[in-house]
Amino acid sequence: MIAPLPVPTRIQSLDVTRGVAVMGIFSVNVVGMAMIQQAYFYPPAFGFETLADRLMWLGNFLLIDGKLRALFSIMFGASLMLVIERAVAAGRSGWRTHVARMIVLMGFGLLHWAMLWWGDILTHYAAVGLLAALFARVKARPLFVIAAAGLVVHAGLSAFFEGRGIVEYEQMVDRIDAGTATPKMIAEVKEARQSDAPAAAIAKDKAAHRDIASHFAWAKQQGIAAPFDLGPLWLETLPLMLLGMAGFKGGFLTGQWQRRRYRKVAVVAIGVSLVAYAALAALVLAKDFLAPYFFAVNFGFAPLFRPIAAMGYAALIILLATPGGALTTRFAAVGRTAFSNYLGCTFIGTLLFFGFAGNLYATLSRFEAWLFVVPVWALMLLWSKWWLERFNYGPFEWAWRSLARWQLQPLRRVPPPGQGGVGGGSNLSSETAE
C-alpha cells in the first residue's frame, strides 16, 4: 500500500530541480521555434554557417541537449508519485486523481501542438504518465532496477540501429570507390552528404508558421496521432519517469541523502557525462556533421549517458540549493509554475517568430536564436516569484488543477490572520504540493 505523507508541505528540492529543468529545456526548444523543423534534428540543415553557431551547438550538446529533458522526465515521475501520495493522504483515490490530471494534461498538450508548436511534449508525457502510474506500488530499489534496465535496453537498441546507419553508409562509399555501387547507393550517399535543406522545404515550413490558422492547417494534415508518434522516445521516457519515482521513494530527489553521497553522485555522473559527450562531439566535428555520424551520435550513442548526466545534475542542484536563499526561492518558484513557464515560452516564441507578429521564423542562425534564451530565463525568474507571492498556483497550474477536479480552485492567496501585504508574504515553500 502507498504510504501517505504526514504533512502536505512543499519539497523544495523537487521545485528547484524542476525549475532548472524547464529553463534548460527552453534553451533547446528555441531552435525548434525559431528555425525550420529539420534544423532542430540536424543543425546543418539551416542557420549553421558561422563559428558561433557551431560553438552554440557544442555548448548545448555537452551541457544541455537531451539532459535537461531527461531531468524533467525524471522530475515528472517524482511529481507523479507525490501527487498520488498526497491524494491518498487527503482521502481521495490516488489512481483517479492521477488519471484525471493526465487526461487534462493531454488535452492541453493536443491544443498546444495543434495551435502553436509541433514540438509539444505534454501529450507524450500524459500518455507515458498513465503507464508509469502502474508502477506506483513498486518499492524504490526494484523500481530503480526496472528503470535502469529499461534505459539500458533503449540505449542498446538506439546504438544498434543508428550505428548500423554508419556501417551501411561506409559500405556504400566502399562500393562507390570500387565502382560497383548501384544508382540507388550513389543517390543515398549524395543525400547523406547534402546538409542544407532544399529551398522548397524551407518555403513549405515557413508557410506553416505564417499564423495560428496556418499552423492548425498543418496539424490537421499530420493527424491527431502525430504528437503521440514519437517512436523510440517512448522507450526512454517511461524508464526515466520510473527513475524519478524511485528517486522520490528512495529520498534522493527529496534531499534526504547525506551531502557526501550527493557530492559523489554529482562528481561521478557529471564527470562521466562530460567525458562521453566530449568524445561524441569530437567524432561529429571530425566528420564535419556528416549525417550518418551525427544521427548515430545524437540518437544512437548519446542516450546511454543522458540519464547519467540528469542524475548528476539533480545531485548538484540539491547540493547548491541553499534553503531559503533568494536565488533558490526564485528557481523553486519557476519549478512550481513549470507548466505555465513551459507554455509561456511557446507564447513568447509564437509572438517572436510567427508571421503575424515578430515574423522572425527561419531568418535567424542558431546562435542568433539562442540570444533570446537568457532574457526569457530572466523573465521566468522574475515573474514566477512575483506571481506566487499573490496567487496559490501558476495560471495554467490553476486551470489544470481546476479541470482535473472539476471544481474551481482558490487562486488568490489569502494573508494569514494578523499579516498584511500581498498574499501574506513571500514564503513560497509552505503551500501544498499537489
Q: Please report, for residues 30, 34, 109, the alpha-carbon distance to residue 368 in angstroms, rounded to integers and kept in the order given.
A: 10, 10, 28
Q: At 412, is the secondary structure helix, strand, or coil?
A: strand
Q: What is the pLDDT of residue 194?
A: 83
Number of H helices, E strands in the chain: 19, 0
Q: What is the pLDDT of residue 8?
A: 44
Whether 258 contacts 294, CB under 8 Å: no
Burial class (CB in 10 A: 0-12, 13-18, 19+), 227: buried
Q: What is the pLDDT of residue 369?
A: 95
Query: Which parts of the chain register pLDDT below 50?
Result: 1-8, 421-434
207 Cα distance to chain centroid = 27
Q: What is the pLDDT of residue 427?
A: 41
412 is written with which cell numbers? 488568490
Contacts of 421 (CB under 8 A, 6+ apart): 415
Percent of the chain whose pLDDT exceeds 90: 77
- Alpha-carbon span 318 to 352, nearest angstrom: 34
Q: What pTM was computed for the model?
A: 0.91
Pick from 94, 67, 122, 123: nearest CA to 306: 67
- Alpha-carbon span 29 to 134, nearest angstrom: 30
* pLDDT tens-digit readout, 168-205: 999 999 999 888 989 888 888 888 888 888 888 888 88
Whether 21 contacts 67, CB under 8 Å: no
DSSP output for 45-89: GSS--SHHHHHHHHHHHHHTTTHHHHHHHHHHHHHHHHHHHHHHH
423 DSSP assignment: G
Q: What is the pLDDT of residue 432?
A: 38
- Alpha-carbon span 257 to 111, nearest angstrom: 40
11 DSSP assignment: -
Whether 137 contacts 81, CB under 8 Å: no
The torsion region of residue 394 among left (phi > 0), alpha (psi -120 to 50) and beta comes to beta
Q: What is the pLDDT of residue 413?
A: 87
Domain residues of the chain, as ranges? Answer: 12-424
- Alpha-carbon span 397 to 341, nearest angstrom: 10
- Alpha-carbon span 76 to 162, nearest angstrom: 28
Burial class (CB in 10 A: 0-12, 13-18, 19+), 261: exposed
Average pLDDT over the chain reads: 90
Q: At 391, is the secondary structure helix, strand, or coil?
A: strand
Burial class (CB in 10 A: 0-12, 13-18, 19+), 235: middle
- Alpha-carbon span 413 to 403, nearest angstrom: 19
**Angle in degrees, 0-180, between the axes of helices 12-34 and 326-336, rounded to the nearest 10:** 70
Q: What is the pLDDT of residue 425?
A: 39
Whether 354 contacts 361, CB under 8 Å: yes
DSSP output for 13-57: HHHHHHHHHHHHHHHHHHHHHHS-HHHHH-GGGSS--SHHHHHHH
- Alpha-carbon span 281 to 65, nearest angstrom: 12
- Alpha-carbon span 225 to 398, nearest angstrom: 27
Q: What is the pLDDT of residue 310?
A: 97
Residue at 370: amino acid letter: W
Contacts of 293 (CB under 8 A, 6+ apart): 166, 283, 284, 287
Q: Is the dihedral of CA 28, 30, 35, 37 positive or negative?
A: positive
* pLDDT tens-digit readout, 278-329: 999 999 999 999 999 999 999 999 999 999 999 999 999 999 998 888 999 9
